Structure 1
Amino acid sequence: MAGNATRQLAKRRGHKAELEALKYLKANGLAPVAKNFRCRFGEVDHIMSDGNCLVFVEVRYRASSRFVSAAASVDRHKQRKLVQTAASFLSQHAEYRNHNVRFDVLAFDKAPDRQCELQWIKDAFRP
């Protein structure tokens, strides 16, 4: 039972981080295109427009960076899944095929003082 409660708490924290990320991105001039796009390869949290650039955004939250930071948790395996998911989105949405593409990470790390630190890594990786 405790494992289920822990998973539910993590899910709520992740959802809250995604909402905060969306507000932050919009406040910084990006326009929402899609949210939680899913396909057989995986899911991308936010797809945003930044001028003529389509931005695929992975949001990560860590209550503790004791093992690995939120940003560092977007490893090569996750990057590959994001690239495949982006390709799937582009294959379904011809109107964006001529846009430049960028992969960003918004990382929320809970600091020891319980404040949440936000790090926006633009162009975090390239396919």
Structure 2
Amino acid sequence: MGRVPRWPTSPAGPDATRPATCPAGRRHAVNAGQRWEAHALAHLQAAGLILECRNHHCRLGEIDLVMRDGATLVAVEVRYRRGTSHGGAAASVTRTKQRRVALAMRHYLMGRGGPLPAVRFDVVALSGPAERPRIEWLRAAFDAPSGH
């Protein structure tokens, strides 16, 4: 597998200098992921959470949504599965994925500055038809792995 390119950053933010297009094979997956994240975001905002950041990337991982729930900062992993034949959307958040989300949250907190808030790791699992997915919000779905 080749090296992952390191994109330069600009005063407009780390994504400002990224290419506007995706490789052809990834375009559909990116658009679908954005659709599920939009469903999850609307659900969480309707419940009173406030969006702080979308798609925080670092070399160690990614957080789909960073939300505020009162004084608590919430890292949200969004997953979609059409069916449950392989355990469903929530079951697809493996320990490896949990570790990568926790590492990305640590990176996010270090760049944020100020006192460290309480942190929670949630999963929003979507399933069923794309037009009207079933949404399951798992609060405190996992803890940061030991040492993170």
Partner of 1:107: 125
Matched, 1:27 2:43: no
More helix by share: 1
Is the contact between residue 32 and residue 48 of structure 1 (CA under 8 Å) also seen in structure 2?
A: yes
Partner of 1:120: 137
Question: Alpha-carbon deviations, 1:4-61, whole Å to 9, x = none?
Answer: 9875443322211101111111110000110000001111000000111000000001
More strand by share: 1
Partner of 1:93: 112
Identity score, percent: 39
Q: Please tell me whether Structure 1 or Structure 2 has the larger radius of gyration of its CA atoms.
A: 2
Cα RMSD of the aligned pairs, angstroms, is: 1.9
- Mean CA deviation greater in 49-58 or 6-15: 6-15
Where relative contact order (Cα < 8 A, 6+ residues apart) is larger, the structure is 1
Report the TM-score when normalising by structure 1: 0.86
Report the TM-score when normalising by structure 2: 0.75
> In structure 1, what residue type is equivalent to 2:135?
L
> Hey, what's the Cα distance between the residues in 1 that align with 2:24 and 2:86?
22
Which blocks of at least 5 consecutive residues in structure 1 are unaligned? none
> Hey, what's the Cα distance between the residues in 1 that align with 2:116 and 2:142?
20
> Hey, what's the Cα distance between the residues in 1 that align with 2:41 and 2:74?
12
Which blocks of at least 5 consecutive residues in structure 2 are unaligned? 1-22
> Hey, what's the Cα distance between the residues in 1 that align with 2:29 and 2:58?
22
Q: How many residues align?
A: 121
